[in-house]
Structure 1
Amino acid sequence: MSKGIKTSSLGYPRIGKNREWKKTLEAYWAGKIDEQTFRSQMEEIQLQHLQTQQQAGIELIPVGDFTFYDHVLDTAAMFGIVPARYGYQGGDIPLDLYFSMARGNAGATACEMTKWFNTNYHYIVPEIGSLTPVLTENKPLAAYRFAKERAGIEGKPVIVGLYTFLKLSKGFPAAQISAVAARFLPVYVQLLQELQQEGVAWVQIDEPAIVTGLTAEEIALLKTIYGEIAASVPGLYVILQTYFEAAEPLEALLELPVQGLGLDFIHDGGKNLESIARLGWPKDKILGAGIIDGRNIWRSDIDAKLELVAGLQKYVPQEQLILQPASSLLHVPVTVEGEDKLKPAVKNALAFANEKLAELVLIAAAADGGTERYAAELAANREVLAVFRALPERGREDVAEQVRSLEKLPDNRSLPFAERVKVQQEKWRLPLLPTTTIGSFPQTAEVRQARLKWRKGVWTQERYDGFIKRQIAEAITLQEELGLDVLVHGEFERTDMVEFFGEKLAGYLFTGGGWVQSYGSRCVKPPVIYADVAFIQPMTVKESLYAQSLTKLPVKGMLTGPVTILNWSFVRDDLSREAVAGQIALALRHEVTALEEAGIEMIQVDEPAIREGLPLKAGDHEHYLNWAVKSFRIATNHVKDTTQVHTHMCYSEFNDMIGSISAMDADVISIETSRSHGELIVSFEEQEYDKGIGLGVYDIHSPRVPVVEEMTSAIERALRALDVQQFWINPDCGLKTRGWEETTAALRNMVKAAVLVREKSGAVSR
């Protein structure tokens, strides 16, 4: 490479400034556009993303990070890893088959979906089994050609590394990973050889699984993989990219035969720089230095970044240094432009993807050419940050006093579960295998339009409230007709399970276009915690109380838990996440009290995001879980013994957290498990769980309606590991994204399945 500090991007948001990507996907799925139109529109979106990065001045622009759904699914499809249930016979992967793997179809369930490391992005889990990989299509090569032909860009193809791909896959014993890798290496080599033959200079191979920790056997596997690549594709520049944590042991990674190594200097706790200082940096390797936060939305402190770069330059000559974000910018919105409703002190402190690229170019230029040339830009950066940091709401003494009072609060419910479950059974008198839903019902176009009219002032508050009441009444009537035992009000007034609460708490702000991808076309607009969080007034009592007035059956009050509100928000970066979670927990404690005082005594405090906040290194798990559990208990442990606390979680790996989940002391937990139902049940066969639990009996992420027999089988399988006295019947997640027709059909089948199992087992009542 030439002298001077280069800039690179690791990945760009897919969804588009105005969510064009999402709209194109959904138009195709709805049959509104054909495949040719779909592909043409997607090409235009892809081109815009490339040109934006080019115009920003980024020198190494990624290609192949753009996808129609998910980059891990792309990799599986590219290698022909298609489960047998789809009837795939080889050759090119048709577009509808590709989407069926992600969403399911009438004849086959979707592949499992789970979190991408500790982010809120979901990837499709490859099912490898005994499948033999074959290169069906060289997607990075097609992306490289597209960038070159349409934008004149010599792109940097991005590939999910073989080690990470296998670590994220299922269908083979972990002990056989080396043997499975041997099956895949030839097709990886073929892919890279085709890129080299095309004239590609640099390839970015993403290996984030490295940062979760490496055993001696895994280090040996990496040496085998990259040794074979180096021998088979000599002359191709490979940068092995890690992110989300420190890459350890760095000495082993530096021995790999690659031309560059990408490291995260934001989320590594300072360990990567410490390792470089201890080991030095080899003369034959490029360092891709991740110095811009790719997962949060705050403007960089340019002085601090220049100090970091100067520290790196003590060990790495500038001709061996590339500056880049610490991870893909997939996890942040596209641009701050248009956020004119925010007060200037806050808007100026934000940096989304485009602004981060501009920061990167400025830092590289200032570090390379001297800070004097950029004195005005640096002074402006200091002024913006000083104004923001001085905002009075970021240092409220009343909130600080409440946080200090945490140590005085009781740490437990007044009765242990074994005793309070008896008084709860006496109070609620539910049948065995009680049926319920997770909380939300379909957010139809009518509901969204009503909310939009209310927000724009077209509808009065009175008219909007009347509309929401009608939706709640219809939902209550439907649930009673279906025969559900515990009802919900449907959450029609809520745009999002975190945004709704953020709008009603102090310390939050909301963007107009701050959308990010969660899974597929599902986009979320995370609220922003910019100041101290505090309770203002009751947030959910009105709708819950109205719903309860319509029925004699119990209606759950529905809240989002403190750790999920934290993990699904963009969080201020001047306090620890633990401290912010404590503030949120105290605010929710007030809301739980308000619900209970209003007569709502079955309260669900959802924590679907607890697992995604789990640190990637096992040694850091205990500290995180301790404060996460404490936060939940702060919010809920003061209720009466007869008040039943529910929670909901989204993940399939349970063994390593069962103790912490039990310690939360919720009376009933529901878990999103339908795509990996049998695997999770094994956890309960191996470990005891003594509280109420509902393992989702059908997948709400797919539009298919499972038949009664399918759900009956899922219930009976669970009851081989769990006591019938503790088991609840529910979908695996909220129904917000589904339509009413499929929702009604699926719930009707679910209730029928519950009744059948009750009758088979003679479990009619408690």
Structure 2
Amino acid sequence: MKNVISTNLGYPRIGEHREWKKALEHFWSGKMEKETFLLQMQEFRLDHLKKQLDQGIDLIPVGDFSMYDHVLDTAMMFGLVPERFEYKGGKVPLETYFDIARGNRSAVASEMTKWFNTNYHYIVPELNQRNPAFVENRPLHFYQEAKQKLGINGKPVILGPVTFVKLAKGYDQQELKDMVELFTPLYAQMLGELEAAGVEWVQIDEPILCTTLSAEEIHLLKETYETLTKAAPKIKMILQTYFDHLDYFEEITSLPVHGIGLDFVHDDGQNLKALNTFGFPQDKMLAAGVIDGRNVWRANIEERITLIEKIAAAAKCEQLMIQPASSLLHVPITVNNETELTPTLKNALSFADEKLQEVALLSKGVKEGKAAIEKDIKASKAAIETLNGSPERNNTKVQLATANLEAMNAERQAPFESRSKLQESAFQLPILPTTTIGSFPQTQEIRKQRLKWRKKELTTEQYEDFIKAEIKKWIEIQEKLGLDVFVHGEFERTDMVEYFGEKLGGFQFTKFGWVQSYGSRCVKPPLIFGDVAFLAPMTLKESVYAQSLTSKPVKGMLTGPITILNWSFVRDDLSRFTVANQIALALREEINILEKNGIQMIQVDEPALREGLPLKKEKWDNYLNAAVHAFKLAVSTVKNETQIHTHMCYSDFEEIMDAINALDADVISIETSRSHGELIQSFEDTTYEKGIGLGVYDIHSKRVPTIEEMSTNISRALKVLDPKRFWINPDCGLKTRGTEETIEALKIMIEAAKETRETVGYPVKETNAFVNAKE
């Protein structure tokens, strides 16, 4: 096959050493002037383009770079600034752009939620105002910049109109057609200007097409793209999908576009099956996503070549684009910087730059034949076989345990109704008890001391003494504030997954393996490369110490098996839920140890449970059943008096209500403050009878809310939830907040709780049975 083009869908923004993050935070803090900041952002953009050029990519994406979030960028192109930010029209100022994402003293930030089933968060567009206007052509700017500065005739990347509107809020579903039609002329204007500038290829992302859609929505898509192709007939438009397969394969591949991008990695073989069944239009370019853009394992080049041959044969096409299955936004930059990994593991890894090399290699192999890349084929196969044969992937004890799960109990000893009475007697908390989600501020001094310890400039004893002093300080702060249930603060932890991964067998951490989670927030997901094994207690020392300092209950804090799974790069030689059950069994041992040492409340957080939902609704039950089983496998051995908590991030809570009930946790807290009203509405039709805390203020913003705002959030929740079961807490952990703002916000939260207790007829209790028992 001669007409083969290598391309990419998007490149990570953050830089090899998180230069992008550092520039953002310096600008936000006033340490960098705006002009300097904008020049640095341009430098980063151009550097990313040059790297892709150097890797041998033929068609390079432009406009995928963002200073915060690509969905927010799209909204700003159309002037979609919420009224509370006092926008005057025209191009949206940079300061307003960041205010929408982060909030300011007078306005709450826009809602943030997960990008499909990834751990990337986007800012949800607000379509309450119905007067969008085309105020800035970002794709055109970045196209011209790449051409003028580097001579690159790039491929502008645009978030498609149907996906953009479907991801937005502020309208009813029956208004979808009207809303898409409202934006279609604006997209047409954008494409017309790109055509006039000489753009040849445009990538329009419509990942929503890999979710469960109706026939009416597909018809709307057809009408939309008929309009758009007429607006710019000379542009070669690629309709790009990813994260799963297409349901309406014939309808979508017959759209009047010049190319269709399909995911052949996460499609369960369904896109290839559809190609074999329906064929592919001969007048279109097939863009085949054959390299995993969401995981970090080296591709078996021979297997990928064979897959491409099957794709080409099924499509009967003579023109083919070879590319990653999704944007590389979800993986780290390069393996080259990882100097401390074993050769066995390092050789089996592939980050963004290496994936581009694989794309270029596959393109060469398809054009010139396998013989041209025989050395690379053998190298990839050898690297994978070496890892598979390693001791870490052959832990007999773990494998025997996971093979005998049916013999293990995964149910609590008594139903919730019975357990709750025993727990009420044991703790005797006031009505509307107050607590926090887990972490307290990780100050610069904490990070400094941790770094010194890692560099061996502090002994382990010195570092642990420092952590104990922080725990003691914050136990005293919680006592003074008057919280009802304490946490130890998690000062010893860098990240809620990384911390546990460092203490479990089968995990490995990178030095520079960062990916963007939201805004400047970057995370470094662990690599689950072997069988997951419990090695030694992970949280016991800090939990027991904190409990020894107070007569109030202190929650033990763990990250749940599904969140560890979903926030890690998981080995691809086993099913994901085999790995989840291995994690659950390791946590089960930790929970038993905590309970035996007097920790009577244990929180097992699952903020990522919903984000792992498959895009296809018909796959939901299998995922949720497996997720619930893993959670219960971890927590089921505790006594009835031991109270199990969990925490989740909110997104369409009502869609997984049955699964949340099935977790059988005694108390669940949910991140809701940016979408509080929507969640409250879901409880009007759904009864939840276990303990629940809906976040009463947003911890993602430095803004300290008023007592009226918190009281309103509490009151709204109590209209549909039982006060006897309701807990009052912030949205999430307070790790990223400052000390003074945290104390002030918690003080207001506790005061709001006290005032509400009086209004519902339950006076504040100053002591409880747990206190007396401890004394």
What TM-score, normalized to structure 2? 0.98
* 1:688 and 2:690 aligned: no
Q: What amino acid sits opposite 2:397 in the alignment?
A: D
* Aligned match of 1:78: 77
Once the 2 structures are TM-superposed, how far is the Cα of residue 373 of structure 1 from its aligned partner?
A: 2.1
Confirm whether residue 29 of structure 1 aligns to residue 28 of structure 2: yes
Aligned to 2:771: none
| Match of residue 216 from structure 2 | 217
Output the amino acid matched with 1:368: K
Q: Provide, for residues 585-638 of structure 1, a one-character-per-residue CA deviation record: whole Å limited to 9, x for no partner.
A: 000000000100010010000000000110010000000000100000000011
* Structure 1 residue runs of 4 or more that deviate by more than 4 Å after TM superposition: none
User: Separation in 2 of the partners of 1:582 and 1:750?
Assistant: 38
Paired residues for 1:494-573 under 5 Å: 494-573=493-572
Distance in 2 (alpha carbons) for counterparts of 1:90 and 1:686? 40
Counterparts of 2:254 and 2:321 in 1: how far apart (Å)?
Answer: 20
Distance 2:455 2:653 in 1: 44
How far the C-alpha of 1:473 sits from its partner, in A, is 0.5
The Cα shift of 1:765 comes to 5.5
- 1:562-587 Cα distance to aligned partner (Å, 9 max, x none): 00000000000000011000000000
Aligned partners of 1:677 and 1:121: how far apart in 2? 21
What do the CA deviations read for 1:15-41 (whole angstroms, capped 9, x no partner)? Answer: 001100000000000000111111001
Alignment map for 1:285-300 (pairs within 5 Å): 285-300=284-299
Q: What aligned pairs does 1:338-377 form with structure 2 within 5 A after superposition?
A: 338-377=337-376
Alignment match, 2:770: none
Q: Which residue of 2 aligns with 1:710?
A: 709
Structure 1 CA distance for aligned equivalents of residues 380 and 282 of structure 2: 34
Amino acid at match of 1:466: D
Matched, 1:583 2:582: yes
Partner of 2:727: 728
- What SS class does the counterpart of residue 466 from structure 1 fall into? helix
Aligned-partner residue type, residue 105 of structure 2? A
Question: Is residue 2:735 matched to residue 1:742?
Answer: no
- 1:693 match: secondary structure: strand
Cα drift, residue 379 of structure 1: 1.7
Distance 1:557 1:745 in 2: 24
CA drift of 1:215 comes to 0.9
Q: Deviations over 1:111-170 (max 9, x none)?
A: 000000000000000000132111111000001011111111001000000000011000
Q: Give the AA of the match of 1:390.
A: G
Q: Which residue of 2 aligns with 1:130?
A: 129
8 A contact 2:272–2:314 mirrored in 1: no
C-alpha displacement of 1:317:
5.2
**Cα distance in structure 2, aligned partners of 1:354 and 1:123:** 24
Within 5 Å, give how 1:224-235 maps onto structure 2: 224-235=223-234
Partner of residue 321, structure 2: 322
1:482 aligns with 2:471: no
C-alpha distance in structure 2 between counterparts of 1:553 and 1:412, whole Å:
28
* Contact 2:301/2:376 (<8 A) preserved: no
* 1:348-406 per-position Cα deviation (integer Å, ceiling 9, x unaligned): 00000000000111111011101112222222222212211110220211111111231
C-alpha distance in structure 1 between counterparts of 2:594 and 2:54, whole Å? 53
| Structure 1 Cα separation of the partners of residues 474 and 404 of structure 2 | 41
- Show structure 2 runs of 5+ residues with no match: 766-775
Q: Secondary structure at the match of 1:703?
A: coil
> Hey, what does 2:442 align to over in structure 1?
443
1:72-96 CA-to-partner distances (Å, cap 9, x unmatched) read 0000011011111111121111111
Task: State the partner residue of 1:251.
Answer: 250
Between the aligned partners of 2:172 and 2:178, the Cα distance in structure 1 is: 10
Partners of 1:120 and 1:158 lie apart in 2 by: 21
Q: Which amino acid aligns with 1:673?
A: T
What amino acid sits opposite 1:19 in the alignment?
R
Letter aligned with residue 334 of structure 2: T
Aligned partners of 1:264 and 1:272 also within 8 Å: yes
RMSD of equivalent CA atoms: 1.0
2 CA distance for matches of 1:652 and 1:378?
A: 43
Deviations 1:273-331 (A, max 9, x none): 00011111111111110000000000000010000011112134564200000000000
Q: How is 1:102-113 mapped onto 2 (pairs within 5 angstroms)?
A: 102-113=101-112
**Partner of residue 754, structure 1:** 753
Write the distance in 2 (CA, Å) between the matches of 1:312 and 1:642. 57
| Partner SS state of residue 321, structure 1 | strand
1:419 shift after superposition: 1.1
Tell me if structure 2 keeps the 8 A contact 1:292–1:356. Answer: yes
Instruction: Give the Cα separation in 2 of the matches to 1:460 and 1:603.
Output: 30
1:594-613 paired onto structure 2 within 5 Å: 594-613=593-612
Measured after TM superposition, the shift of residue 761 of structure 1 is 1.6
SS of 1:415's partner is: coil
Long gaps (5+) in structure 1 = none
User: Would the aligned equivalents of 1:431 and 1:765 in 2 still touch at CA under 8 Å?
Assistant: yes
What secondary structure, in the 3-state scheme, does the structure 1 residue paired with 2:335 have?
coil
Aligned to 2:314, the other structure's residue is in SS state: coil
CA contact (8 A) 2:112 2:123 kept: yes
Distance 2:628 2:764 in 1: 33
Residues 646 and 667 in structure 1, CA contact (< 8 A), matched pair in contact too? yes
Task: Please tell me the residue identity of whatever aligns with 1:132.
Answer: N
> Where in structure 2 are the equivalents of 1:130-149 lying within 5 Å?
130-149=129-148
Decide whether the 8 Å contact of 2:610 with 2:651 is kept in 1: no
Aligned partner letter, 1:637: S
In structure 2, C-alpha distance between the alignment counterparts of 1:27 and 1:392, rounded to whole Å? 45
Aligned to 1:210, what secondary structure does the other structure show?
helix
Q: Does 1:389 align with 2:401?
A: no
User: What is the DSSP-based 3-state SS (H/G/I as helix, E as strand, rest coil) of the residue aligned with 1:5?
Assistant: strand
8 Å CA contact 2:46–2:146 kept in 1: the answer is yes
Q: CA deviation at 1:652?
A: 2.9
Contact 2:282-2:317 within 8 A present in 1 as well: no
Per the alignment, in what secondary structure is the counterpart of residue 563 of structure 2? helix
What is the identity, as a one-letter code, of the residue corresponding to 2:261?
Answer: G
**Which digits, 9 at most, give the CA deviation of each residue in 1:182-217, with x for residues without a partner?**
111111100010000000000000000110022111
Work out whether 1:202 is the aligned partner of 2:201. Answer: yes
The question of 1:406 aligning with 2:405 is answered yes
Residues in 1 aligned to 2:2 and 2:82: alpha-carbon distance in whole angstroms: 48
Q: CA deviation at 1:409?
A: 1.7
SS of the aligned residue for 1:529 comes to strand
CA distance in 2, matches of 1:358, 1:121: 24
Give, in whole Å, the separation in 2 of the partners of 1:316 and 1:712. 60
Q: Secondary structure at the match of 1:680?
A: helix
Cα shift readout 1:467-497 (whole Å, capped 9, x = no counterpart): 0001000110111111110000000000100
Instruction: After TM superposition, give the deviation of residue 3 of structure 1 in Å.
Output: 4.3
Structure 1 residues 503-547: Cα deviation after superposition (integer angstroms, max 9, x where no partner): 000000010100000000000000000000010111000000000
Q: What is the CA–CA distance in structure 1 between the aligned matches of 2:289 and 2:137, rounded to whole Å?
A: 28
Please give the secondary structure, in 1, of the residue aligned with 2:404: helix
Count residues in correspondence: 765
Q: Secondary structure at the match of 2:337?
A: coil
Cα drift, residue 695 of structure 1: 0.3
CA distance in 1, matches of 2:646, 2:588: 15
Output the amino acid matched with 1:29: W
SS of 1:143's partner is helix
Alignment partner, residue 334 of structure 1: 333
Q: Give 3-state SS (helix, strand or coil) of 2:579's partner.
A: helix
Do the aligned residues in 2 keep the contact of 1:4 with 1:318 (CA within 8 Å)?
A: no
CA contact (8 A) 1:202 1:239 kept: yes
Q: Distance in 1 between matches of 2:190 and 2:374?
A: 46
What CA distance in whole angstroms lies between the structure 2 residues aligned with 1:316 and 1:617? 24
Q: Secondary structure at the match of 2:12?
A: coil
State which drifts further: 36-45 or 128-137: 128-137
Q: Report the equivalent of 2:645.
A: 646
**Aligned-partner SS, 2:288:** strand
The letter for the 1-side match of 2:531 is D
Distance in 2 between residues matched to 1:3 and 1:192, nearest whole Å: 30
Structure 2 counterpart SS, 1:532: strand
Secondary structure (helix, strand or coil) at the match of 2:724 reads coil
